[in-house]
Amino acid sequence: MDAERSLRLHIRHASEEEAIELPAGAVGLLMDILETMATGRGLTLLPENAELTTVQAAAVLNVSRPFLIELLDEGAIPHRKVGTHRRIRMEDVMTFKTGIEREREMVLEALTREAQEQGHGY
């Protein structure tokens, strides 16, 4: 299927039929969603400006809530307070996560390079 073209769907419910036109951007997104689901991976759709609770942000980062609170208190991830509750923008959580993943890759590459230099067969 070509994700660059719009798609016309016909939906039948009981005796009624309705045609829906999906724009090309929505077709591409729908294809990505279906491919992800087909691999058995989970999927969460959030608006770009979504704010997460500390429990939600900790789940995204796969860390404990107390550890996330430490990161917030250290200023590692920007947040704001709503009353006594912290709110973290999804964009900031993903920026932090990407940075951590990049740092891990660099450390792994350095360890691999060092092991090769020492003749450990990696």
Whether 2 has a pLDDT exceeding 60, the answer reads: no
Element of type H or E holding 114? helix 90-117
How far apart (Å, rounded) are the C-alpha atoms in residues 96 and 24? 31
Instruction: Select the CATH number that applies to the domain covering 51-117 from these four: 2.60.40, 1.10.1660, 1.20.58, 1.20.1050.
Output: 1.10.1660
The winner for highest mean pLDDT among 47-51, 53-57, 117-121 is 53-57
> Which sequence spans correspond to the domains of the chain?
7-38, 51-117
DSSP strands (E only) in 37-115: 51-52, 80-82, 85-89
Tens of pLDDT, residue by residue over 53-109, are 999 999 999 999 999 999 999 999 999 999 999 999 999 999 999 999 999 999 999
List Cα–Cα distances, 98 to 16, 32, 58, in angstroms.
47, 20, 15
Residue with tokens 């996560």: 97
- The predicted model scores a pTM of 0.62
